[in-house]
Amino acid sequence: MGKIIIENRTYGFDEIKEGNWLENDPYFHQALTFCQLWLKGATVFEMPTSGSTGEPKDIQVNRKQMEISAAATRDFFQIPKGAKMLCCLNIWMVAGKMMLVRAMEWEAELYLVKPSDNPLLELYLEFDFAAMVPLQVSACLENEKTVPVLKKIKHLIIGGAPSSPTLIQNILNSGIRAYQTYGMTETVSHIALAKINREELVYEVLPGVEIGTDQEQRLWIKAPMASHQILQTNDLVKMIDKSHFQWLGRADFTINSGGIKLQPELMEPKIAPAFEAIFGHQHFFLFGKEDERLGQKLVLVIGHEDKDVTKEQLLRNALKNLFNRYHLPKEILYVKEFVKTASGKINRPATFQNSQ
């Protein structure tokens, strides 16, 4: 049987099942309560979706879906029993809960720490498996104390949001072993993984997963861990073969500007090098703003305290070398703070509403 380690306290799965633990902190208490329910054989669990493309909602996920998902990840990475794992995610969301499920299903040794920008600061262990969001990986790479710990993780999966081109390049330069995940709450965590060994990521589906596209090149998924027999997504993809694809962006982020369709998530990686050279490590995204003449016009939203006319002009000049005039932002907006979803993604509509 495996165990969960919280700070300097260790709980065997038998102890957790019997409720022989006392944790007053809400994060640890909730995690162990979920584990207790699982170990006692609960069959249905309620989980919130991330709300990255609409209003968050709660959905019911059954035990069998989660068991299948955990088994597929184990088979993909060939994880042995007794593996040493790290959970540093929000355990109220599906990604965090699935780390708990994997630990129990794999009879693993799970180190449970509260989510933070850099969860490795107080850890000097060699983990077989860990999951992080892009923000955490960036923070670990920026700290010379945690880079060696990050490098020792045998299998690191990154999810919750796409990794930026800068982060991907930093991962390639550092030599860490990492995979970007593709999935959603409805598929109980990821159904595909992309090894970060090149700038353009290619996803490979987990064992038992079938994929295809509709007439608009939107991905559909048929997977044993999904809640529906066939799950239609709003993700635009390029199919490589029956088990590999490249993710292009969200269909519902497409901007129709005077009849010209613009795909922000295809354009943003092209903008990133020029943007960072001028504005530094600030966040930005492209968005469609209602326009009486065009229907929608392309705007660039920047996470910056104040309007910077000089830098703005430098950026406009740089973008003219990258795009034709129809693909250039018609307006640049500024916002002090980006709104994030519970899973760490940028909430574009809410952030846009706060911009000026």
Concatenated DSSP letters of 65-93: HHHHHHHHHHHHHTPPTT-EEEE-S-TTS
The continuous run of DSSP H or E covering 5 comes out as strand 3-6
pLDDT of residue 67: 96
What one-letter code names the amino acid at 245? F
pLDDT of residue 149: 96
- Sign of the alpha-carbon dihedral angle for 40, 43, 46, 52: positive
The continuous run of DSSP H or E covering 174 comes out as helix 165-174
Given the DSSP bridges, would you call strands 84-87 and 129-132 parallel, antiparallel or unpaired?
Answer: parallel
pLDDT of residue 343: 67
Two tokens at 169?
Answer: 């390049």
* Phi, psi at 211, each rounded to 5°: -135, 160
**Could you tell me which residues are beta bridge partners of residue 184?**
189
pLDDT digits (tens, 9 = 90+) for 47-75: 876 544 445 567 889 999 999 999 999 99
pLDDT digits (tens, 9 = 90+) for 98-133: 999 999 999 999 999 999 999 999 898 999 999 998
Two tokens at 146?
Answer: 């945690």
Contacts of 195 (CB under 8 A, 6+ apart): 178, 179, 204
Contact present, 299 and 330 (Cβ < 8 Å)? yes
Residues of the chain with pLDDT under 70: 49-57, 342-343, 356
pLDDT of residue 214: 92
Q: What is d(CA 262, CA 248) in angstroms, rounded to the nearest whole number? A: 12
Given the DSSP bridges, would you call strands 129-132 and 155-158 parallel, antiparallel or unpaired?
Answer: parallel
Set out the domains of the chain in order of their start, with CATH numbers: 3-250 (3.40.50.12780), 254-354 (3.30.300.30)
Q: What is the pTM of this model?
A: 0.80
To 10 degrees, what angle do helices 134-142 and 165-174 make? 50
Alpha helix (H) ranges present in the chain? 13-18, 26-39, 63-77, 94-105, 134-142, 147-151, 165-174, 264-279, 309-320, 348-354
Nearest of 248, 188, 192 to residue 218 by alpha carbon? 248
Q: What is d(CA 129, CA 30) in angstroms, rounded to the nearest whole number? A: 22
What one-letter code names the amino acid at 59? I
